[in-house]
């Protein structure tokens, strides 16, 4: 695990803040998506259950975001589909909460968002990890349409 933690730190450009499990890998075995513990070691809530740590895919999604992708996804998918993705994500994260936790808890949906969208990366990570996330699926379609998805990009896992 130490070697894997070091590799994740290298991919993120910083040490991971808490405990995680690698749930999606590239074909070469590199970590692509992390599933974070909902509470950090110091008791701080971690609202982002799924974290995209693949630098090439993060950069490609950043290109879509900088071209108005968040606004476009909101307009095309509508508030009901987005709210359902947030609810599904929050329920999964809340189920992972330690039974004996008495401090502050994570809130909101994907990445702590209460409504609408703020980050395509977190939705894409959720979708890659097998989550029912229309925003992640929309993001994947845009990556393919625009030729931004790396040839060796991680593949979606089935739950």
Structural domain boundaries in the chain: 2-145
Measured CA to CA, the distance from residue 87 to residue 39 in angstroms comes to: 19
Measured CA to CA, the distance from residue 154 to residue 52 in angstroms comes to: 10
E strand residue ranges, the chain:
20-25, 31-36, 50-52
Q: How would you write the pLDDT of the chain (159 residues) with one tens digit per residue?
A: 569 999 999 999 999 999 999 999 999 999 999 999 999 999 999 989 999 999 999 999 999 999 999 999 999 999 999 999 999 999 999 999 999 999 999 999 998 898 899 899 999 999 999 999 999 999 999 999 999 999 899 999 988
Question: Exposure string (b/e) for 24-40, b if CB count within 10 Å is 16 or more?
Answer: bebeeebbbbbbbbbbe
pLDDT at 2: 64
Measured CA to CA, the distance from residue 146 to residue 120 in angstroms comes to: 15
């Amino acid at each position: 695990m130490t070697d894997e933690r070091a590799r994740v730190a290298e991919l993120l450009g910083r040490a991971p803040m808490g405990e995680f499990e690698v749930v999606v890998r590239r074909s070469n075995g590199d970590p692509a998506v992390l599933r974070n513990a909902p509470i950090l070691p110091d008791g701080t809530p971690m609202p982002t259950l799924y974290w995209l740590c693949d630098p090439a895919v993060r950069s490609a999604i950043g290109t879509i975001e900088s071209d108005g992708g968040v606004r476009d996804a909101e307009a095309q998918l509508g508030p009901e589909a987005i709210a359902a993705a947030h609810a599904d994500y929050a329920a999964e994260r809340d189920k992972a909460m330690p039974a004996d936790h008495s401090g502050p808890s994570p809130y909101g949906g994907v990445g702590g968002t209460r409504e609408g969208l703020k980050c395509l990366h977190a939705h894409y990570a959720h979708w890659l990890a097998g989550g029912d996330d229309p925003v992640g699926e929309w993001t994947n379609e845009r990556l393919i349409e625009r030729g931004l998805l790396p040839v060796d990009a991680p593949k979606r896992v089935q739950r």
